[in-house]
Amino acid sequence: MNQSEAAYRQWLSEERLDPALREELLALAGDEKEIEERFYTELEFGTAGLRGIIGAGTNRMNVHVVRRATEGLAQYIRTFADGAARGVAIAYDSRQMSDAFARETALVLAQNGIKAYLYKTLHSVPQLSFTIRHLGCIAGVVITASHNPPAYNGYKVYWEHGGQVAPAQANAIFAEICRADYFAARGMEEKEALAKGLLVMIGEEVDEAYYAATQTLLQYPDLMRAHGGELKLVYTPLHGSGCVPVRTLLSRLGVPVHVVPEQEKPDSAFPTVKAPNPEDPNAFVLAIPLADKVGADVILATDPDSDRLGVAVRKKNGTFDVLTGNQIGSLLIHYLLSARKEKGTLPENGIVVKSLVSTRMADAICAHFGVTCRDVPTGFRFISEIIDRCERTGEETFLFGFEESYGFLAGSCSRDKDAICASMLVTEACVYYRQKGMTLYDVLCEMYRTYGYYKESVKSYTLAGKEGIERIRGAMAALRQDCPVEFGGVPVETEEDLRSGICRNLVTGSEQPAAVQGADILRYSLVGGAWICVRPSGTEPKLKLYIGANAAEEAGVDALLKQLTAAADARLKTLLGLC
C-alpha cells in the first residue's frame, strides 16, 4: 500500500470526517490515479496562503484543511503577547464554500481564545487589508482563490501591516500547521463565541471608513463633483465582491454606473465566463454590447475578490480595446504623476514600485517626472513591505504600485492590490481627460509618442498534477544548467537568477549581485533593451513566460516581440516536453 492509499484509508476511517466528504471519498474507491492526486501531498502554505481545488483530501480545499490551517495560524498568533486580544479580521468572496470556510476560520480562532472579526457579507481583499489596520488586528484571513476557475478556493493570510505574510512568517505558520491534526482542530459554537466576545461581526462603519480613506486619493475631487455625471461607464463585477463597493464609491462621486445585469449578482459557478479573470478579454463579452447601447467610453471589470481590475476603452473607430495590465498601470502612473506635478504636490522623494515582470514603460514615465521606479519580485506583498517601510522611516513617499497581472494600488489605505480604488482613479482620469477632449485611448497613444512604444507578451504553460509540477521544476533546472545565449538571434547580455541572487554578464563573464533577489525567477536582459523572464506560478500549476520589448515605432516593437516570443516559446515547449 503506497502513501496516498494509506492516507485515503485513514481519512475514511476517521469518525470526525465530514459526511459529504466521506461520500466523495467512497465514490473514489479503486480509482488509484485520483486517490494519488488527492493524497500524494498536502496543499502548501506560502506567502499566498493555501489554494486548491475544492474537494476531499489533503491536496484539496475542504473544511478539515481550513480548520487545520487555522489551528496552525492560531498557535503562531499565540506566540505574540497581545496577539489573541488584537484578533484576526476575516473576509470572504463569492466562491463556493467561501462563507462556510470563513465561519470555520472564525470559530477555530475563537476556540483558541483569539478574537475573530468576521464580515457579515462577502467583502473584497482591499477592504480586508484596510480593516486589519483600522481595527488594529494582528492578522487577517481572506477566503478566496482570486481569479482562478470555479473549482478552486483558497486561504490567504495577512499580517498587521495589511500585506500578506512574509516568507519567514509563512514558514513559521506552516510549521505550526504541520504539527496540527486535520481532525482534532475544532471550532467554538457560534452562540458561545458571540456571547464571550470572541466573535465580532464587522459593521458598516468599517466600510464607511474605507470609502472615506479611499476618496482622499482623488486628485481633483471638485472636478469629479462638477463633471462626474457626464461620464458614461459600464462595470461588471464578474459575479464577485466588487459590485457593492465599486458602485457605492462611484455613485457617491456622481458617476452613473451601468452594471452588466447577467454578471451583477454573486454566483460561485461564474456561469457567464470560463474563468472570472479580467485579464481575459472574454470577460468583456457581455459588457461591450451594453457599453455600445448606453454610449459608454470605458468599461471596468473586477475579479471575485476585487483585487484585480480590467479596463476596456473605446477607440476612434468606435470599437473597444481591452487594455493589458501594463497599459492600465502606465496610464495610472502617467495620470497621477502629471496631476501631482500640475498641482505642485509631487514629492521629491516619491517612488513607484512594480514587479520586475511588468513593463519598462513605467521606468520611462518615472524618469520623465524625476521619480524613482523600483522593481521587486512578483507578489504584491513585496510592494506592501515597501509601503510599510516608507511609512515607518519617512525616507521615501510611496505613490503607486502595480503588477502586470492587473493589480494596482495608490497611496497606503490598503496594502494589497485594490481594484476598488483603481476603479475610482481610472474613472477620475476619464473625467479629467474628457475635459481636454481626450479619451483614455487618446492618452495612451500620446504616451507612446512621448515615451516610445513598449509592448509585452505573457504566456502560461499549465501542467496539472504531480507530473506537471515535476516537469516545471525540470524545465527551470535545465535553464539554470544551460543558460540560453540568444533568443531569436538576439544575444543575451545578462542572466539574473533571483533564487541564487547572482547576475552574470554573458559578454564579459563577470558576476555581481542581482538587483532583485528572493524568488524562483530567471531574467534575461537582451542586447537592445528587450527582456525575458521565466518563473513558476506560486498559486497555480503553471510555468509563466514574460517578454518585453520597446522601439521608436510600433511596427518595430511588434516584429521584435513576435520574434522573441516564438523563440522563447519553442525553447520552453521543448524543455516541458510539449513538442
So which residues are the catalytic ones? 146
Work out the end-to-end distance of the chain between its first and last CA atoms, rounded to an integer number of angstroms: 35
Residue keyed to cell 510549521: 175
Collapsing DSSP to helix, strand or coil, 433 comes out as helix
Residue 288 pairs in a beta bridge with none
- What's the 3-state SS for 29-45? CCCHHHHHHHHCCCCCC
Residues 6+ apart with CB under 8 A from 63: 18, 21, 97, 100, 101, 104
C-alpha span between 18 and 533 (Å, rounded): 43
- DSSP string spanning 188-237? --HHHHHHTTSEEEE-HHHHHHHHHHHHTT-S-HHHHHHHGGG--EEEE-
C-alpha span between 458 and 307 (Å, rounded): 20
Collapsing DSSP to helix, strand or coil, 554 comes out as helix
C-alpha span between 228 and 427 (Å, rounded): 8
Residue keyed to cell 469518525: 15
Residues 6+ apart with CB under 8 A from 330: 359, 361, 362, 365, 444, 447, 454
Judge whether 496 and 483 are in contact, CB under 8 Å.
no
Collapsing DSSP to helix, strand or coil, 164 comes out as strand
C-alpha span between 231 and 311 (Å, rounded): 15
Residues 6+ apart with CB under 8 A from 189: 107
Q: What residue ranges in 439-505 does DSSP mark as E strands? A: 453-462, 486-487, 490-497, 502-505
